[in-house]
Chain A
């Protein structure tokens, strides 16, 4: 495949981003060309979002999670790159935000996006849900089972229950109100819920942060913009599984890999074909 025909992924970096390399590695493993791009390059115009098919906002502690997690990056996305991101979404391109990336997408209002429930005078990017402090009051790194729902291009072909780790202090999903939550559910915008091994609702630590309705990840209405707190790039190879030494049968990929494969596949089929 020629360079030109490769799906191109922009892995966004700024001060405090730290899951950029493994996220890029995950996309590259399925044939994408992934660039680590500092946000300053987008501001100056030496890199352009429109040259890419996928925008990935990886995990980390952008700007130290100062004030609240993802807030300063969210304002940069909203105020300085808002139009470019609108155009990117309109062009049917893909966005994924993982952990801190999800926090930024939510605080900028890119997720869950315009639900047609905004009050008069509200800007198109308006925060309607949040990811707030874990009920445990502390950062925790632990593995969680996730039950799949919705119909996002990102989650096609995933098993009903997948096993992926979280590592955050601010991951408790809270919607503005019940009306909004119902709208999300009705639209099929809930992508992942924390659950137990069998897929049933689970209390702490199954739901590691106290998220309302056990929500771990959501999409916009189109399913092309996905945000999730768990880290699929950390269950990318088989040996990432915390119990891989207990399994007799070895596989090459972990249960998070399909998400990256889906993104690359979508670009190949829908945007490059």
Chain B
């Protein structure tokens, strides 16, 4: 029996979700839509009577106060036809796409005492009112309602799928071997391309050589396993390989060979600094540092760019889900306590007609990405406390989505060990055809065909499944039921089991892996990237208890194999061996390559701009710049207070809407010790020089933590490179330079890197032309704070208090927002003087610990002008300030350069007059100036170098300019 139940709002009830869809449609420029109603459709299969289906409608599916339900059998149902003034379209998930509602509905029906339900499918029917043409409807479906990678429009004949279609959806299994032994070069390349293996010719030759030695051909599964292990995504070939780097500066070119860029820059910082509080760095899923005597904290930031380009909701959703699993799989498992997210998009007003083929509009990408993060983070109960959003046209085909998670783990639980004879347990979600080739797909460029070829790489997450796993996992960890754990991320079981079994070897019986549906090939089971799965190693004695513990909370956990001691990867499918490889070949057999890298400064010049007498309108434009403006629309959609540890929120000030620097979180309730989380990211500096981009991003991440009262000596960093194609020497040259910057300035500030990530091949190719993203480094920072009650926020507190600028301002408008509002880039990118920066950070830290600073804000994009404006309108107070008292160094000294220069290591600080002496005593070795006073009257008045007013505005107008651009 098959039933269709339709749920809709009762007459007169406000359809809030329908209204939101209407807004999205109007956003597309289709203003003829006057109303949108949504009908929620459940197709229910099973031996269910008419009275039972009515009970399901009444007691489960409809809210009796606001909604009504109607049940239809196939005979009784007539698909409503679109009429002149009302268009009707029904959208459903494609078969095999995760829809957590289906599983919940089955549970809900069984809870009603109806065990005969077999399957549920959901769909949404949209009723759009207004004079809408068929072409308009098609446009709306494509641009707002559906993504063809995961949805389809239901046609009337297919409203009731056959039971077979719903219950089982898979194809028959087939076994394949590849004739590699006899293959010539052309054939080798073709095998790699056809199989979406993204292995280059050298690598294919190495594989050929290996199998010639074995005198047999590889199975498909073996090739897949090698391709996954050797993928850029998993192996980081570029960072670990050899680079021939030539650098041109001041007309001179120097060339040098770099062996292992990662080890010679990022890792070297940490080794040189050798901080005793670094507990576990670089070798696990996340970096671990000491928190207090019995707890450590760990931090990891991941990227999920390519999937987010194709399906923004699903890409971001599984991005955050994936980094949370990294934390669950760190050591013996950590508890996530907060998230951070940084996005880069093309500007939201990008014209539809200029969009490259196959790309989604940036506004849709942005809304989808934000929704995806909201859905997963909120449902996991992890506060999203920090982030940033940047815009540049070149992110159009390839947005960046960085997701990070901080976790806490009991001291001593950061070590894991796989023991010979341990069984392999997989727990959590079932395995389906999701995300096949995700790891290899992200190791190549995106093209207009990516959406067709790689659609399997798109996934939707199931956060509640992951929450269930988390709940049990921490309990099992504390009971010592397993000795090692890792997550299934890119590369699926292949990566997880492959890594865990690297030393000992592993045997897996693939038919034991629980499947979402029948018909998966064994190689698909092995490399599927289905979400919400963790892999553990447990002794045979503990395994039974472990499985029982999971079962207690309705989480599926299964023994799928054993860590053998054979040092081989042995895979079986129903007793037949489908893979037999030496672990040493998998992990060390990749041929070493040397890539070419070149760097030369761009041909840009300082623009010739005259300085206007009145800079008020310039300040308003800078405040309205997408990179500077308020992100409240995004922040409010994230739960940033769950878990009860929110001390400094992302929004602060008299109206709870000012932009906080770092966020402060208490990971252990009832204590005062906290963590501060911040990030530094600025793509415009990288367009001039990636070396100084790295320097500025490190400085920014540190100074934000110092601004809230964090200790500069207890800060750890994460590096996260998003770059274009590293096989192109110019792209790789910038990458090398950026990594060198990371090394020099992290070392200079005494802030070790504890973990990192690189995402390369961020390019979008169309018609043979390739758009690379602006090269981007994200520096994420975590600081340990002994007493969170000493935290400081950025909003001005009280009229009459003194305003200080601490730190030297230079003529550094290169890459500034001010220049960008004038369509210029410039060359004088901000530099960093670590000696001076350290002194400034130390002085301000001392001031916060002594309670001398009422507010502190770091100067970053928009310089002193933006910092002052934000502090004023966030505090609801006015400002009088004199530019001549700003400590400044540089030949070119003008009102605009003083106000908008983005020099590093600077702060604006508010100090009560009675604390002046004490505060200045701390600044003996730091440049500073008392530049003005906080005023009761809501006027923002700045006197220029000639003592004439150069900015004069009401703080409300400044705030409006800052809030308006991203208020959707």
Interface residues of A (CB under 8 A from B): 13, 15-19, 21-22, 25-26, 29, 38, 40, 59-61, 63-68, 71-72, 75-76, 79-80, 107, 127-130, 132-143, 165, 167, 172, 174-176, 210, 231, 233-234, 236, 239-240, 242-243, 245-246, 250
B638 within 8 A of A: yes
Q: Are B644 and A64 in contact (CB under 8 A)?
A: no
Q: Are B639 and A25 in contact (CB under 8 A)?
A: no
Nearest-neighbour CB distance to chain A for B438, whole angstroms, equals 23
Once the chains are docked, how many angstroms separate the CA of A134 from the CA of B111? 28
Query: Contacts A79-B111, A133-B17 hold; do A107 and B63 have CB atoms under 8 A apart?
Result: yes
B415 within 8 A of A: no
Q: Are A137 and B19 in contact (CB under 8 A)?
A: yes
Q: Are A246 and B101 in contact (CB under 8 A)?
A: no
Knowing that A64-B462, A67-B105, A242-B656 touch, tell me 17 more A-B residue pairs with CB under 8 angstroms.
A13-B471, A19-B643, A61-B378, A61-B463, A64-B104, A67-B61, A67-B101, A67-B108, A71-B108, A76-B111, A107-B63, A133-B17, A139-B374, A141-B637, A167-B639, A175-B65, A245-B797
In the complex formed, the residue of A with least CB distance to B471 is: A13
B144 within 8 A of A: no
B793 within 8 A of A: yes
Q: Are B108 and A72 in contact (CB under 8 A)?
A: yes
| Cross-interface CB contact of A75 among B108, B471, B789, B793, cutoff 8 Å | B108
B467 within 8 A of A: yes
Q: Are A129 and B17 in contact (CB under 8 A)?
A: no
Q: Are B656 and A64 in contact (CB under 8 A)?
A: no
Q: List 27 A-B contacts (CB under 8 A).
A: A16-B467, A18-B467, A19-B644, A22-B643, A22-B644, A29-B670, A63-B464, A67-B61, A72-B111, A79-B112, A79-B113, A129-B65, A130-B64, A132-B66, A134-B16, A137-B17, A137-B20, A140-B636, A141-B640, A142-B656, A165-B641, A174-B65, A234-B642, A234-B646, A239-B647, A245-B793, A246-B795
| Cross-interface CB contact of B464 among A22, A64, A79, A127, cutoff 8 Å | A64
Once the chains are docked, how many angstroms separate the CA of A60 from the CA of B101? 16
B206 within 8 A of A: no
Q: Are B100 and A64 in contact (CB under 8 A)?
A: yes
Q: Are B105 and A136 in contact (CB under 8 A)?
A: no
Query: Contacts A67-B104, A72-B111, A138-B637 hold; do A243 and B17 have CB atoms under 8 A apart?
Result: no
A132 contacts across to B, CB distance below 8 A: 13, 16, 63, 65-66
A29 contacts across to B, CB distance below 8 A: 670
B791 within 8 A of A: yes
Q: Are A139 and B378 in contact (CB under 8 A)?
A: yes
Q: Are A246 and B797 in contact (CB under 8 A)?
A: yes
Once the chains are docked, how many angstroms separate the CA of A21 from the CA of B383? 14
| Cross-interface CB contact of A15 among B554, B649, B797, cutoff 8 Å | B554
| Cross-interface CB contact of A210 among B14, B378, B795, cutoff 8 Å | B14
A65 contacts across to B, CB distance below 8 A: 379
B610 within 8 A of A: no
Q: Are B643 and A136 in contact (CB under 8 A)?
A: no
Which B residues from 843 to 902 make CB contacts under 8 A with A? Answer: 855
Once the chains are docked, how many angstroms separate the CA of A176 from the CA of B640? 33
In the complex formed, the residue of B with least CB distance to A16 is: B464
| Cross-interface CB contact of B65 among A79, A127, A239, cutoff 8 Å | A127
In the complex formed, the residue of A with least CB distance to B854 is: A245
A17 contacts across to B, CB distance below 8 A: 381
B463 contacts across to A, CB distance below 8 A: 61, 64
B792 within 8 A of A: yes
B788 within 8 A of A: yes
Q: Are A141 and B636 in contact (CB under 8 A)?
A: yes
Query: Contacts A18-B467, A64-B379 hold; do A38 and B552 have CB atoms under 8 A apart?
Result: yes
Chain B, 551-571, contact with A by CB distance < 8 Å: what is the 0/1 string? 011100000000000000000
Once the chains are docked, how many angstroms separate the CA of A172 from the CA of B653? 27
B802 within 8 A of A: no
B61 contacts across to A, CB distance below 8 A: 67
Q: Are B65 and A176 in contact (CB under 8 A)?
A: yes
Query: Contacts A79-B111, A176-B65 hold; do A59 and B642 have CB atoms under 8 A apart?
Result: yes
Q: Are A242 and B649 in contact (CB under 8 A)?
A: yes
In the complex formed, the residue of A with least CB distance to B638 is: A141
Chain B, 647-684, contact with A by CB distance < 8 Å: what is the 0/1 string? 11101111010000000000001100000000000000
B639 contacts across to A, CB distance below 8 A: 139, 141, 167
B651 contacts across to A, CB distance below 8 A: 242
| Cross-interface CB contact of B641 among A128, A129, A231, A250, cutoff 8 Å | A231
Main secondary structure of the interface of A (DSSP, over half): mixed
| Cross-interface CB contact of B381 among A60, A72, A142, cutoff 8 Å | A60
Q: Are A72 and B66 in contact (CB under 8 A)?
A: no
Chain B, 206-223, contact with A by CB distance < 8 Å: what is the 0/1 string? 000000000000000000
A242 contacts across to B, CB distance below 8 A: 649, 651-652, 656
Once the chains are docked, how many angstroms separate the CA of A19 from the CA of B383? 11
B59 within 8 A of A: yes
Q: Are B20 and A66 in contact (CB under 8 A)?
A: no
A137 contacts across to B, CB distance below 8 A: 16-17, 19-20, 23
B105 contacts across to A, CB distance below 8 A: 66-67
Nearest-neighbour CB distance to chain A for B520, whole angstroms, equals 25
Nearest-neighbour CB distance to chain B for A156, whole angstroms, equals 23
Q: Are B644 and A21 in contact (CB under 8 A)?
A: yes
Q: Are B111 and A135 in contact (CB under 8 A)?
A: no
In the complex formed, the residue of A with least CB distance to B788 is: A239
Nearest-neighbour CB distance to chain B for A115, whole angstroms, equals 14
| Cross-interface CB contact of B669 among A16, A22, A127, A175, cutoff 8 Å | A22
Q: Are A133 and B16 in contact (CB under 8 A)?
A: yes
Q: Are A167 and B65 in contact (CB under 8 A)?
A: no
B16 contacts across to A, CB distance below 8 A: 132-137, 172, 210
In the complex formed, the residue of A with least CB distance to B798 is: A246
Which B residues from 939 to 961 make CB contacts under 8 A with A? Answer: none
Q: Are B641 and A234 in contact (CB under 8 A)?
A: yes
Q: Are A127 and B553 in contact (CB under 8 A)?
A: no
Nearest-neighbour CB distance to chain A for B850, whole angstroms, equals 15
B101 contacts across to A, CB distance below 8 A: 64, 66-67
Once the chains are docked, how many angstroms separate the CA of A78 from the CA of B59? 11
A38 contacts across to B, CB distance below 8 A: 552-553
Q: Are B637 and A63 in contact (CB under 8 A)?
A: no
Ranked 9 nearest A-B pairs via Cβ: A18-B381, A22-B644, A137-B20, A66-B104, A130-B65, A133-B16, A64-B464, A66-B101, A245-B793
Chain B, 44-72, contact with A by CB distance < 8 Å: what is the 0/1 string? 00000000000000011101111000000
A76 contacts across to B, CB distance below 8 A: 111
B468 within 8 A of A: yes
Once the chains are docked, how many angstroms separate the CA of A60 from the CA of B640? 13
Once the chains are docked, how many angstroms separate the CA of A143 from the CA of B17? 23
Nearest-neighbour CB distance to chain B for A234, whole angstroms, equals 5
B648 contacts across to A, CB distance below 8 A: 245
B513 contacts across to A, CB distance below 8 A: none
B381 contacts across to A, CB distance below 8 A: 17-19, 60-61
Q: Are B100 and A66 in contact (CB under 8 A)?
A: yes
A72 contacts across to B, CB distance below 8 A: 60, 104, 107-108, 111
Q: Are A135 and B641 in contact (CB under 8 A)?
A: no
Once the chains are docked, how many angstroms separate the CA of A243 from the CA of B797? 10
Nearest-neighbour CB distance to chain B for A82, whole angstroms, equals 12
Once the chains are docked, how many angstroms separate the CA of A22 from the CA of B111? 29
Q: Are A138 and B63 in contact (CB under 8 A)?
A: no
In the complex formed, the residue of B with least CB distance to A176 is: B65
Once the chains are docked, how many angstroms separate the CA of A18 from the CA of B646? 15
Which B residues from 589 to 640 make CB contacts under 8 A with A? Answer: 635-640
Once the chains are docked, how many angstroms separate the CA of A270 from the CA of B899? 65
Nearest-neighbour CB distance to chain A for B448, whole angstroms, equals 32
In the complex formed, the residue of B with least CB distance to A13 is: B471
| Candidate in B19, B107, B471, B670 with the most chain A CB atoms within 10 angstroms | B471
Q: Are A18 and B380 in contact (CB under 8 A)?
A: yes
B797 contacts across to A, CB distance below 8 A: 245-246
| Candidate in A133, A142, A175, A231 with the most chain B CB atoms within 10 angstroms | A133
Nearest-neighbour CB distance to chain B for A209, whole angstroms, equals 9
A61 contacts across to B, CB distance below 8 A: 378-379, 381, 463-464
Chain B, 226-253, contact with A by CB distance < 8 Å: what is the 0/1 string? 0000000000000000000000000000
